[in-house]
Structure 1
């Protein structure tokens, strides 16, 4: 039951943050808000995954932050819709660029985030072990 509550709470926060970001980028005709949400969300999920690979959290924490927060913050359906909108608006090159930057950037940032998160988690584990040995 804790997992369900954590996912719901995380999703509510993530969705609210996505909404706030979209409000800030409405004046731009290019879907920069969705691009930022998805790439930033990929970085954050990568960092969490890397950290959780080194420091095992309680299951509800992992579910709330990963599935809930990151799932609520990112949006594949809006990415797909924005891509179609750019294409139908005769911005074929922009639509392909949008797909390339979103997917390539998202995967790259997830990898970098994983490496960073794992490094932070390993340092935390090292400090805890060193502190416990004294």
Structure 2
């Protein structure tokens, strides 16, 4: 049964990633990969909030499988982040490549911490 929860979450997360990436990127005329940045930071926020909720006893391990492993696993994308960073560097956009790494890591960690803090405030 657990694997069905992961599949169900991923079935929503993967198209959500693609559609969000396309929608966000189409609104920005820049080399910076805003679409991938958006889905990764959003996934970090969701996962941080979910992890805090599970730790506080407000969410079940089944919900963690559905939303954490399934949805966030398919929504976020380390491989695309890595590829886009490499592509920026190879295309001579070293500043954008470095900015992508720094801003993505800082924002992702910040979103995860914010999610945990939010969950603690709501359910602790």
Take 1:58 and 1:105, find their aligned partners in 2: how far apart are those partners?
Answer: 27
Distance 2:121 2:76 in 1: 24
Which residue of the partner structure matches residue 80 of structure 1? 82
How far apart in 1 are the matches of 2:45 and 2:61? 21
Aligned partner of 1:11 in structure 2 is 10
Q: Which has more radius of gyration?
A: 1
Give the number of aligned pairs: 121
TM-score (norm 1): 0.84
The Cα offsets for residues 83-115 of structure 1, whole Å up to 9 and x where unpaired, read as 001101101011001100001110111011111
What runs of 5+ residues in structure 1 fail to find an aligned partner? Answer: 123-134
Whole-angstrom CA distance in 2 between matches of 1:43 and 1:59: 18
2:64 corresponds to: 62
Unaligned runs of 5+ in 2: none
- Tell me by how many angstroms 1:26 deviates: 4.0
> How well do the aligned residues superpose, as a CA RMSD in angstroms?
1.3
Equivalent residue number for residue 43 of structure 2: 41
Q: CA deviation at 1:118?
A: 2.0
Which of 32, 35, 47 aligns to 2:34? It is 32
Runs (4+) of structure 1 exceeding 6 A deviation are none
**What TM-score results when the alignment is normalised by the length of structure 2?**
0.91
SS for the counterpart of 1:30 is coil
Of 101, 117, 124 in structure 1, the residue corresponding to residue 119 of structure 2 is 117
1:131 counterpart residue number: none
Partner of 1:100: 102
